[in-house]
Structure 1
Amino acid sequence: MSRAPEDPLLACVESFFRDYLQRLRGASAHTVRAYRDTLRLLFIYLADTKDSTVANLRLNDLHVDAVAAFLTQLESDRANSIATRNCRRAAIRSFCKHLIRVDLPHAEQYQRILALPAKKCQQNLATYLEAAEVHAILDQPDCRTVLGQRDMGYAVSL
């Protein structure tokens, strides 16, 4: 089944990865893979909610309510952390910024997706060693040997 020319979702996805991420933004291979995985999960989710296939998705299937439900589903069904959810949100935002550039008639639809807020997640405070613990570590290397002097150098520089 061929894609309808008036709804270039697949062409937009291709230009997002080829032109926007790699050429314009110079994204790393890791970023490209993470964004690819996010869009794959999003499109599978959208197709499942419509009882359709990914090949039948259209640009207007990508709307704020669907994306918000997808982000909620990541946490509830897939047990993703809030940080992972926010990373997936960032990938979707990047895709929507590209869509605004290439699909101007639907810019308002994509702007609403961009307005979805990140969820606050608890940041772990750094823990520090007590003075006695630092002394215990620094007492370990045997400074009479070359390797001990090396180890002391490493320990002191940390």
Structure 2
Amino acid sequence: MDHEERARLPQELAHAANSFERYLVAERGRSAHTVRAYRGDVDALLIHALAEGVTTLAGLDLSLLRRWLGEQSAAGLARATLARRAATVRSFTAWALREELVEVDPALRLRAPKRDQTLPAVLQQQQIQRLMDALAVRAGEGEATAIRDHAMVELLYATGIRVGELAGADIDALNRERRALTVLGKGNKERVVPYGVPAARAVETWLSLGRPALAKPDSGPALFLGKRGARIDQRAVRTVVEHVFGQLGDTSATGPHTLRHSAATHLLDGGADLRAVQEILGHSSLATTQLYTHVSVERLRESYKQAHPRA
């Protein structure tokens, strides 16, 4: 939504949207990305309400909310997007009720289509090995960014952390003796994740050879740096990962989240406890982690079909 559309909102609606945004930041500790998504959804709802002649929060009712989602469904929006927007609206109206801006919550009975239960992309362990070997060869040539890329990808796979958690990590978050990294996850929840010997070696090489070559006086404590010496941003990490996936040649996987999915699946394949994997990934709900058991079952089924004479 552009600024002109937002400026059209009546004062009461605009004030509510602004206050909800501040609540998400100050009290819920949501990331900037999440806040933008929530605010965009709320603005879209309120613009729709205005088009129907509603100028106050009290004018929001269940039928209006359903019509709003129905229009988006008819326009072809994905079920995952509709589910997220319905969740945003429920959060917004529940907040408005607590703030006594409305007398009843119109979204209590609002439902949206369930998300498509698509299995996440997962690399095979042989693919991971080839990927890491190629990165190690490049890093061995001594270029600072190649050393950094090797360390970042090793750490992403070793820990299963999110790209934002990697980009936000500082040097002192590393416990190099215990091979553990402290990260700040969703909802500002801190957790400690272990990593193995290959990742430790790659990180040590980065800290001793790569980072000093990129660091500037104002680089600060960031663990990973961009070409200009500032803290690396998430887009740069995604670009690195997508590039190395492209060089792999036998996968359509894209983005750092594939490394997270792969780490979780390989942990479970190796016999790790589901609760332990939940802790490592920083999932608030065990149900989210259980998706990876479905991935493992599918892999087992494929292996069975290929190997069993009476499959």
Alignment TM class, shorter chain as reference:
0.5 to 0.7
1:13, CA displacement in angstroms? 2.2
Q: Which amino acid aligns with 2:117?
A: Q
Q: 1:27 to 1:126 in 2, by over 3 A?
A: closer
1:104, CA displacement in angstroms? 6.1
1:33, CA displacement in angstroms? 0.6
2:47 corresponds, among 44, 48, 52, to 44
Q: What 5-or-longer segments of structure 2 have no aligned partner? A: 1-9, 141-149, 151-197, 200-247, 249-262, 267-311
Superposition pairs of residues 94-105 of structure 1, within 5 angstroms? 94-103=91-100
CA RMSD across the alignment: 3.5
2:60 corresponds, among 59, 62, 82, to 62
Which position in structure 2 is the counterpart of 1:147?
A: 137
Which position in structure 2 is the counterpart of 1:13?
A: 17
**Is 1:30 matched up with 2:27?**
no
Q: 1:127 to 1:24 in 2, by over 3 A?
A: closer
Q: Which amino acid aligns with 2:112?
A: A
CA–CA distance in 2 between the matches of 1:140 and 1:16?
A: 47
CA–CA distance in 2 between the matches of 1:12 and 1:100?
A: 11
Q: Which amino acid aligns with 1:147?
A: V
Q: 1:140 to 1:72 in 2, by over 3 A?
A: same
2:109 corresponds, among 112, 115, 118, to 115
CA–CA distance in 1 between the matches of 2:103 and 2:81?
A: 28
Contact 1:12 1:102 (C-alpha < 8 Å) held by counterparts: no
Contact 1:16 1:95 (C-alpha < 8 Å) held by counterparts: yes
State how many pairs are aligned: 133
Q: Which amino acid aligns with 2:108?
A: L
Q: TM-score, normalised by structure 2?
A: 0.36
Runs of 4+ in structure 1 displaced over 6 angstroms?
138-141
Q: 1:138 to 1:95 in 2, by over 3 A?
A: closer
Q: Secondary structure in 1 aligned to 2:107?
A: helix
Structure having greater relative contact order (Cα 8 Å, sep ≥ 6): 1
CA–CA distance in 2 between the matches of 1:81 and 1:128?
A: 22
Q: Secondary structure in 2 aligned to 1:114?
A: coil
Which position in structure 2 is the counterpart of 1:53?
A: none
Which position in structure 1 is the counterpart of 2:195?
A: none
Q: What 5-or-longer segments of structure 1 have no aligned partner? A: 51-55
Q: TM-score, normalised by structure 1?
A: 0.66
Q: Secondary structure in 2 aligned to 1:115?
A: coil
CA–CA distance in 1 between the matches of 2:43 and 2:119?
A: 34
Q: Which amino acid aligns with 1:123?
A: Q
CA–CA distance in 1 between the matches of 2:102 and 2:85?
A: 25
